[in-house]
C-alpha cells in the first residue's frame, strides 16, 4: 500500500470512529427562508422565517406538523425569545419582490454606499412583536423599530432587557420591556457597536452576551450597571457564521457558507462536522416531548429570499450517535 492509499485509509477509519452514525432527514413541511428557532421552557418549538412565525407540533399520528402562521400578515421574522410567559420576536416588512422593484426603478442604486439606508427608508419598516405563550400564541406589533435597519438575532437577560443584533447598521440595541405591561416597549438604545462587521446570532449566558459577527464568535461581558464590558473573540472562521447554541460546556455554530456545524469546546479547541447538503441557519439540541437529546434541529435556509425552492426552506433533524455527544 502506497503512502497516499495509507493516508486515505487512515482518514476513512478516523472518520468512522470519530463521527459515528449520522442520520439526516427533512420534516415534511416547508418554512420559507427558515431563519431562527426557539424552544420554550416547556419544550415547545417555534420557528421564524421569511414570511412568518410558526410552531412545530406532533399530531395524533405522531407526525410533525407546522402550526400557523402566528402573525397576521407577511413579515420577515428573525430573532425570537421568551420572557415571563411571553414570546418576543423581531420582523422586517421587506420582500424579494419589493427589492427587485426598487432596484429595477433605480431608486436605490446597487453601488450606492448608502444602499441599505435607502432600502430601509423606503420599503423596510421593522417592528417588535409579542405574543402570550398560551395554547394558541398570536403575535402582534407592540412597537416600531425606527432606529433599526435590519433586526436579526434576539436575546433577553434576567431583568427582561431585550438585546437585538442589527446586522446592517452593525449595532447591538438594548430594549426595555415595561414591567407593568408586557406589550409595551419603554426604551430602545444603541448598546454596543465596537468593531462589529455583521452581528447576527445572540445569546446570553452567565451575564455575558455572545455574538456571531460575520466570521467571528464574540463574548461581551454585561457589567453590574448593565453596560458592555470586556469583549473577547472566542473563535474565528474563514467562513460566514450564522447562529449558534450552547451545548454542554461548548458552543455549536452554524457555518452557513460551508454547510457544516462547528463545535467550539470550552478549552478553545474546535471540531467540524461532516459537510451537510444544506445551508444551516440555526441549531438547537432536541428537547422532550418533541425530540430526543441525541437529535439536533437545524433550520436549512437555502438561499436568502428564495421562498419556494426545494433547496432550503426546511427544518431538518440530524440524529448523531457520537459526533457531538462524545466530544465534551
Identify the pLDDT of residue 239. 92
pLDDT score, position 114: 66
Alpha-carbon distance of 59 to 274, in angstroms, equals 32
pLDDT (average), residues 136-163:
94
- pLDDT tens-digit map of 268-304: 888 888 888 889 999 999 999 999 988 999 999 988 7
| 157 pLDDT higher than 90 | yes
* Confidence band of 129 (pLDDT split at 50, 70, 90): very high
Whether the pLDDT of residue 23 is over 80: the answer is no
Please give the C-alpha separations between residue 298 and each of 163, 252, 276, 317, in angstroms, as whole numbers: 23, 11, 11, 6
CATH of domain 21-320: 2.120.10.30
Dump pLDDT digits (tens) for 212-266: 999 999 999 999 999 999 999 999 999 999 999 999 889 999 999 898 999 998 8
User: For 193-212, how does the pLDDT look when each residue is reduced to its tens digit (9 = 90+)?
Assistant: 988 999 999 999 999 999 99
Kindly tell me if the per-residue pLDDT of 16 is higher than 50.
Answer: no
The pLDDT value recorded for residue 272 is 87
Going by C-beta distance under 8 Å and a sequence separation of 6 or more, which residues neighbour residue 282? 35, 36, 37, 201, 242, 243, 245, 254, 298, 299
The answer, yes or no, to whether residue 10 has pLDDT greater than 60, is no
**19 three-class SS:** helix
What is the percent of the chain with per-residue pLDDT over 70, rounded to a whole number? 82
Which is more confidently placed, 326 or 267? 267
The pLDDT assigned to 83 comes to 95
**Nearest to 304, CA basis, from 281, 273, 276:** 281
pLDDT band at 326 (very low <50, low <70, confident <90, very high): low
pTM of the model: 0.86
pLDDT in tens, 86-111: 999 999 987 666 666 666 666 666 55
Nearest 5°: the CA angle 60, 63, 66 is 100
Residue 64 phi/psi, 5° resolution? Answer: -75, 135
Check whether the bond before 186 is cis (ω within 30° of 0).
Answer: no
> Does 141 have pLDDT greater than 90?
yes
pLDDT tens for each residue of 179-198 = 999 999 999 999 999 889 99
pLDDT, one tens digit per residue, over 27-71 is 878 999 999 999 999 999 999 999 999 999 999 999 999 999 999
Give me the pLDDT at residue 211, please. 98
- Kind of pairing between the strands at 270-272 and 312-320: unpaired
**pLDDT over 60 at 5, yes or no:** no
For residue 73, give the 3-state DSSP assignment.
coil
| CB contact set of 27 (below 8 Å; sequence gap of 6+) | 56, 64, 314, 315, 316, 317
Amino acid at each position: 500500500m502506497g503512502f497516499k492509499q495509507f493516508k486515505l485509509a487512515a482518514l476513512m477509519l478516523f472518520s468512522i470512529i470519530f463521527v459515528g452514525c449520522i442520520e439526516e432527514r427533512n420534516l415534511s413541511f416547508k418554512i420559507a427562508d427558515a431563519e431562527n428557532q426557539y424552544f420554550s421552557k416547556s419544550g415547545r418549538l417555534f420557528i421564524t422565517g421569511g414570511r412568518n412565525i410558526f410552531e412545530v407540533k406532533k399530531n395524533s399520528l405522531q407526525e410533525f406538523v407546522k402550526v400557523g402562521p402566528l402573525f397576521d400578515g407577511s413579515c420577515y421574522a428573525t430573532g425570537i425569545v421568551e420572557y415571563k410567559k411571553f414570546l418576543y420576536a423581531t420582523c422586517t416588512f421587506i420582500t424579494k419582490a419589493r427589492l427587485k422593484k426598487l432596484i429595477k426603478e433605480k431608486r436605490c442604486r446597487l453601488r450606492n454606499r448608502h444602499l441599505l439606508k435607502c432600502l430601509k427608508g423606503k420599503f423596510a419598516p421593522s417592528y417588535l412583536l409579542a405574543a402570550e405563550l398560551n395554547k394558541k400564541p398570536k403575535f402582534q406589533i407592540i412597537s416600531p423599530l425606527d432606529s433599526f435597519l435590519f433586526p436579526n438575532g434576539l436575546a433577553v437577560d434576567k431583568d427582561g432587557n431585550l438585546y437585538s443584533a442589527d446586522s446592517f447598521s452593525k449595532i447591538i440595541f438594548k430594549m426595555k420591556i415595561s414591567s407593568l405591561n408586557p406589550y409595551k416597549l419603554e426604551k430602545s438604545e444603541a448598546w454596543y457597536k465596537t468593531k462589529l462587521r455583521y452581528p447576527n446570532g445572540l445569546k446570553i449566558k452567565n451575564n455575558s452576551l455572545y455574538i456571531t459577527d460575520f466570521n467571528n464568535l464574540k463574548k461581551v461581558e454585561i457589567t453590574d450597571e448593565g453596560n458592555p464590558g470586556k469583549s473577547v473573540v472566542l473563535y474565528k472562521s474563514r467562513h460566514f457564521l450564522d447562529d449558534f447554541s450552547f451545548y454542554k460546556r461548548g458552543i455549536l455554530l452554524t457555518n452557513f457558507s460551508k454547510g457544516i456545524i462547528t463545535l467550539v469546546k470550552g478549552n478553545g479547541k474546535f471540531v467540524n462536522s461532516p459537510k451537510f447538503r444544506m445551508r444551516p441557519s440555526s441549531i438547537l439540541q432536541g428537547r422532550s416531548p418533541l425530540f430526543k437529546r441525541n437529535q439536533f434541529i437545524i433550520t436549512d435556509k437555502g438561499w436568502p429570499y428564495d421562498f419556494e425552492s426545494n433547496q432550503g426552506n426546511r427544518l431538518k433533524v440530524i440524529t448523531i450517535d457520537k459526533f457531538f455527544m462524545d466530544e465534551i
